[in-house]
Amino acid sequence: MAKRVLLIEDEPNIIEAISFILSRDGWTVHAHENGETAMAKVNAFPPDLIILDVMLPGRSGFDILRDLRAQAATAATPVMMLTARGQAKDRELAKRLGANHFMIKPFSNADVRDHVRALMEA
Amino acid sequence: MVSFNILVAVALLYVALLFGVAFYAERRAARGFGGWLYSPIVYTLSLSIYCTAWTFYGAVGYAARSGLEFVTIYLGPTLVVVGWWWVLRRLVRIGRTQRITSIADLISSRFGKSTQLGVIVTILAVVAATPYIALQLQSVTLSFAVFAEAGGAFWGEDELNGAAIAVAIGLATFTVLFGTRNLDANERHHGIVMAIAVEAVVKLLALLAVGIFVVWGVAGGPTQILQQIDASPIAHWDQNGARWISLIFVSGAAFICLPRMFQVLVVENVDERHLNIAGWAFPAYLMLMSLFVVPIAVVGLAILPAGANPDLFVLTVPLSEGQSGLAMFSFLGGFSSATSMVIVSTIALATMVSNHIVVPIWLNARAGAGAKMSGDVRSVILLSRRFSIAGVLALGYLYYRVSGGGTALAAIGLVSFSGAIQVLPSLIGGIFWRGATRVGAALGLITGFSVWSWTLFLPSIGTGAIISDAVMLYGPFGHSWLRPEALFGIAGIDPLVHGIMWSMILNAFLFFIGSVFSFPTPLERLQGAQFVNVFDYSAGSSNWRASAADAEDLLIMSQRIMGGTEAQGFFQREAAAQGKAGYLPDVTIEFVSLLERELAGSVGAATAHAMVGQLTEGSGVSVEDLIAVADEAAQILEYSNQLEAKSAEQERTARALRDANEKLTALSVQKDAFLSQISHELRTPMTSIRSFSEILRDGEMTADAQWRYAGIIHDETLRLTRLLDDLLDLSVLANGQVTLQDQSGDLRSLITRAVDVAGGEDSKLRVLRDPSAEAIVLRTDLDRLGQVFINLIANARKYCDAVTPTLSIKVRRVSGDYVIDFVDNGSGVQIKNQQVIFEKFSRVSDQSKAGGAGLGLAICREIMHRLGGEISYLPGQGGAAFRVVLPRAAILANR
């Protein structure tokens, strides 16, 4: 069965792009647009990998990451963070909170695909 | 001979003239051109409502029956105005500082904003005024009848009643139209005051004209008339000393206590200094009014057949001499006297009934909902006033019917006066004696009222009507010491003197005893201190402590009472005084007290206290208040007032410093945040562009998908361009490098264009406008102004979340400025975001829906700033609401 990727992102165009890239590579992609309800979504149907945007309506991606790492069920789920802000301190914060990878927008499609592959295999 | 129909036509024309005067004065006042409306002469003339039909017709009748005793009715007020000006000044000052709306309000407010006292005084005033209003109806009706009979018709009871009811309805209509047009601060009615000033002139001239005619036209000159007076019984009448003193006292006290006098004297007073002019001008007016009373009475007695009603000599003497024009003028004089009294009385009483009885009951009934939830308070108050006006006039008419309209005019007048003055002990005690308490006031009022009812009022309706003859003679149930005209077995005193004496003595005594033996509540002591020491510190102390009341809740409530424009203006001023922008000041003790006083101007002190109390936490009196009361010495109070002022000033400075510091910190944080924001806003569309162009480059997809992805790239490029445009625009505006165009055009087409551009053809948004209000010619940078409108309309289209989104665009004048309010029916902007939304990149709702970068309102603010106008968020309107204040210089004309 295809592995499930949960994409937490609020820009419809970016959702469409990443879904296209990853589906082409064989993943099942689910998208969720709201930061506030993201945790509920994760817990209702735990994914194999999470792609998490930083600036989300309702709640920041960093807060969600902290929650993910705090609960046993998702403590080890690979998380790849996306941000359009691209500041050094964001990258450090993401690392410290336990993100597996940190990616700055705009990204190259190949990069996304390769890193998802790498995280799933690890 | 004047036909009856002509007379009615003249009366109607006269009313139409008064209507015009009142309307014109109201218009001038509303536009702020009221200069001469506020002159001391108008004030003095308005005081002349003291002279009613009773004075106009009744004084002559009084003189014909009892000789010179009628003079007492003029002496009382003269003594008060001349000798008691310091009491009047104190009343006027208290009325102003406490925003008193009626005499009931004054008593209620003085004794701890007591609702019960307000009710007692209101009932007393209504009962006491009813005979008097009946008297005015009677006099107008009788004067109509005189003309009808002179024309050959005979008026039976049906005709008289018909005329009385027509007069009552006409007066009610006039009063409702001008007395309840608006609920403005302090309950002033410029239109009415102007109309009664005109009536004052008419009645004076009419009486003088009749007098001059009688002296020179009938009697043959001053010498002859003096001989005639000497020869008449009037000159030989025995004067009763006790009656004279009682009557001077009653009329003097009534001058202050009558609800209608209190209305013109205190409530309608616009300047304390007017009392100085009134101090001599009003006695002069009274003197002129009384000048020809005796000559007319003497000549009337001489030339008219025995049995002619002396109360109508002013009309019948000219008529019998064939002077129908003069009689008509005289009729208008009497008509003026009656109508002006009824109109002002009714307004004063209706204000009391509505503020102290109807609104409290209504508030109580809705106590659970809270004042702010309970619909439009304003319309409820206006409605209750209108019904009260009709009710008061209906009572007057009822009394007229029950009493049969037979009693002599002067007798009814005196009964009414002696009822109204039952307020005197509480009033004078309240403003001079700090020890006076609510219990004392209530005891005194109830006792005085009861004794007055028993000894004067009920017998006045006519023996046998309510009190039977047996009771009059032997007392109720055989208790002879309770006989209405001989209380405690003391018989042989004139009934009027008897009633006044007992009611006032018992009233004052119980007021005193009750006050000495009861303990005032803290609120009473505070109010007492403010009333008694009104000249020492008019600043006022605070009965509220800082509370959890939400400024927005208070605004919503105030809008319902004071009206939107007034309330917003008040809140904005107060916020500015605290150094804050926008419409929501901090809810401090000072602010709540001020607000309460402002509201008291519309609904009375007790009601305002209760309403604010529903929204603020501590509706009682706080510990701080108790401490303040314990420390009563005026010196200490004043000292603490000074300290308070100083510490308030320091606090303001500290707040300004704190704000400045916060601003500096915020600026550097803002710079970082701004860069990071720009980065985010630029990178997001770039991400889509890069990703989809890579996808397209990879090929292997359907033509449809290709088309779609190219479309996304195209849209995102536009988004980037728009963002860069906005950024540049904002930067140019903020640095002031922008060149403004000088264009002129009209507001209506500008808004129409903005609606077309921003609405989009697929838009669900309904736009409501008032094209007539938009007829304003502007001269400014119309493109920029239009850009602001487009932004606001587009925002409503994007963010309004109502099922049928509706945006109303209202143009109106607010304190000299033209403003345009854009109000939608969605869920609005949360308070915490109301200031933030004007900042760059502040998008408080869902990003994907918005489609902009969050720069729109920031640009709008810069544009309005550059144009010399303003834009702000208007809280408390239900949905999202923005107010654009047009630059003053831009207004070319208002068509």
Domain annotation covers residue B215: yes
Of the listed ranges A102-111, B131-140, B337-346, B607-616, the least confidently predicted one is B607-616
**B148 and B255 fall within a common domain:** yes
CB atoms within 10 A of CB B538: 13
Q: Which residues of B touch A106 (CB under 8 A)?
A: 683, 686-687, 689-691
Residue pair B519/B525 in contact (Cβ under 8 Å)? The answer is no
Q: What is the CATH number of the domain that holds B708?
A: 1.10.287.130
Domain residue spans in chain A?
4-121
Of the listed ranges A40-44, B106-110, B439-443, B577-581, the least confidently predicted one is B577-581
Q: Do B687 and A109 touch (CB under 8 A)?
A: no
> Quick check: A46 contacting B, CB < 8 Å?
no
Rounded to the nearest angstrom, the minimum Cα separation between B659 and chain A is 29
Name the CA dihedral angle for B470, B472, B477, B483, rounded to a multiple of 10 degrees: -150
Q: Which residues pair with B743 in a beta bridge?
A: B780
Q: Do A14 and B676 touch (CB under 8 A)?
A: no
Give the mean pLDDT of B152-157: 69
Characterise B871 by phi-psi region: left (phi > 0), alpha (psi -120 to 50), beta (else): beta
Domain annotation covers residue B164: yes
Domain annotation covers residue B612: no
Q: Quote the pLDDT of residue B548.
A: 41
Q: Residue B119: what residue type?
A: V
Of B680, B689, B695, the CB nearest to A109: B695
How far is CA B57 from each of CA B80, B143, B166, B191, B205, rounded to the nearest angstrom? 24, 10, 21, 26, 14
Of the listed ranges B474-483, B621-630, B710-719, the least confidently predicted one is B621-630
Q: What is the CATH number of the domain that holds B813?
A: 3.30.565.10
Q: Do B688 and A57 touch (CB under 8 A)?
A: no
Q: Quote the pLDDT of residue B618.
A: 44
Average pLDDT, chain A: 89
- Structurally, how many domains does chain B consist of? 3
Counted residue by residue, chain B has a size of 895
Give the mean pLDDT of A79-97: 85
CATH of domain A4-121: 3.40.50.2300
The better pLDDT of the pair B640, B738 is held by B738
| pLDDT greater than 90 at residue A80 | yes
Domain annotation covers residue B643: no
Name the CA dihedral angle for A5, A8, A13, A18, rounded to a multiple of 10 degrees: -20
Average pLDDT, chain B: 78
Q: Do A18 and B691 touch (CB under 8 A)?
A: yes
**B716 and B773 fall within a common domain:** no
Rounded to the nearest angstrom, the minimum Cα separation between B858 and chain A is 21
Domain annotation covers residue B850: yes
**B832 and B719 fall within a common domain:** no
How far is CA B101 from each of CA B107, B267, B370, rounded to the nearest angstrom? 11, 6, 24
**Rounded (5°) CA angle B41-B59-B179:** 45
Q: Quote the pLDDT of residue B374.
A: 44
**B809 and B718 fall within a common domain:** no
Domain boundary residue among B422, B437, B452? B437
Q: Do A33 and B848 touch (CB under 8 A)?
A: yes
Q: Do A106 and B691 touch (CB under 8 A)?
A: yes
**B217 and B196 fall within a common domain:** yes
**B750 and B677 fall within a common domain:** no
**Burial class of residue B728, CB neighbours in 10 A (0-12, 13-18, 19+):** exposed
Q: Do B847 and A17 touch (CB under 8 A)?
A: no
Domain annotation covers residue B260: yes
**Rounded (5°) CA angle B98-B102-B108:** 65
A-B C-beta contacts closer than 8 Å:
67
pLDDT in tens, B707-751: 999 999 998 898 888 888 888 888 888 777 778 888 888 888 888
Q: Quote the pLDDT of residue B278.
A: 84
Q: Do A107 and B686 touch (CB under 8 A)?
A: no
Q: Which residues of A touch B683 (CB under 8 A)?
A: 84-86, 104-106
| pLDDT greater than 50 at residue B622 | no
Residue B845 pLDDT class (50, 70, 90 cuts): low
Q: Which residues of A touch B680 (CB under 8 A)?
A: 55, 84-85
Q: Which residues of B touch A12 (CB under 8 A)?
A: 848
**B775 and B660 fall within a common domain:** no
Domain annotation covers residue B587: no
Domain boundary residue among B684, B706, B735? B735
Q: Which residues of B touch A13 (CB under 8 A)?
A: 688, 692, 712, 716
| pLDDT greater than 90 at residue B558 | no
A-chain residue closest to B686, CA distance? A106
Of the listed ranges B145-159, B323-337, B699-713, the least confidently predicted one is B145-159
> Which of B612, B543, B100 has the alpha carbon at shortest distance from B356?
B100
Q: Quote the pLDDT of residue B545.
A: 38
| pLDDT greater than 90 at residue B230 | no
Domain annotation covers residue B218: yes
Q: What is the CATH number of the domain that holds B329?
A: 1.20.1730.10
Residue A100 pLDDT class (50, 70, 90 cuts): very high
Name the CA dihedral angle for B455, B458, B462, B463, rounded to a multiple of 10 degrees: -60
Rounded to the nearest angstrom, the minimum Cα separation between B679 and chain A is 6
> Quick check: A90 contacting B, CB < 8 Å?
no
Q: Quote the pLDDT of residue B606.
A: 65
> Which of B653, B647, B551, B533 has the alpha carbon at shortest distance from B594?
B551
Best residue of B684, B714, B716 to probe chain A, by most A CBs closer than 10 Å? B684
ipTM computed for the complex: 0.93
A-chain residue closest to B672, CA distance? A87
**B298 and B421 fall within a common domain:** yes
Structural domain containing residue B718: 654-735
Cα separation, B9 vs B61, whole angstroms:
28
**Rounded (5°) CA angle B57-B62-B66:** 165
**B718 and B765 fall within a common domain:** no
**B265 and B383 fall within a common domain:** yes
SS3 for chain A, per residue?
Answer: CCCEEEEECCCHHHHHHHHHHHHHCCCEEEEECCCCCHHHHHHHCCCCEEEEECCCCCCCHHHHHHHHHHCHHHCCCCEEEEECCCCHHHHHHHHHHCCCEEEECCCCHHHHHHHHHHHHHC
Give the mean pLDDT of B517-534: 75
SS3 for B778-843, per residue?
Answer: EEECHHHHHHHHHHHHHHHHHHCCCCCCEEEEEEEEECCEEEEEEEECCCCCCHHHHCHHHCCCCC
Characterise B476 by phi-psi region: left (phi > 0), alpha (psi -120 to 50), beta (else): beta
Domain boundary residue among B409, B437, B465? B437
Give the mean pLDDT of B453-475: 69
Residue B489 pLDDT class (50, 70, 90 cuts): low
Give the mean pLDDT of B178-191: 64
Task: Tell me the percentage of chain B whose pLDDT exceeds 90.
Answer: 3
The better pLDDT of the pair B529, B635 is held by B529
**B703 and B750 fall within a common domain:** no
Rounded to the nearest angstrom, the minimum Cα separation between B684 and chain A is 6
CB atoms within 10 A of CB B190: 22
Residue B847 pLDDT class (50, 70, 90 cuts): very low
**B777 and B679 fall within a common domain:** no
Q: Do A86 and B679 touch (CB under 8 A)?
A: yes
Of the listed ranges B541-555, B655-669, B818-832, the least confidently predicted one is B541-555
Q: Which residues of A touch B681 (CB under 8 A)?
A: 84
pLDDT in tens, B35-58: 666 688 888 888 888 888 877 887
How far is CA B419 from each of CA B73, B478, B507, B868, rounded to the nearest angstrom? 15, 26, 12, 60
CB atoms within 10 A of CB B35: 9
Task: Tell me the percentage of chain B whose pLDDT exceeds 70.
Answer: 80
Residue pair B168/B394 in contact (Cβ under 8 Å)? The answer is yes
Residue A64 pLDDT class (50, 70, 90 cuts): very high
> Quick check: A51 contacting B, CB < 8 Å?
no
Cα separation, A95 vs B481, whole angstroms:
102
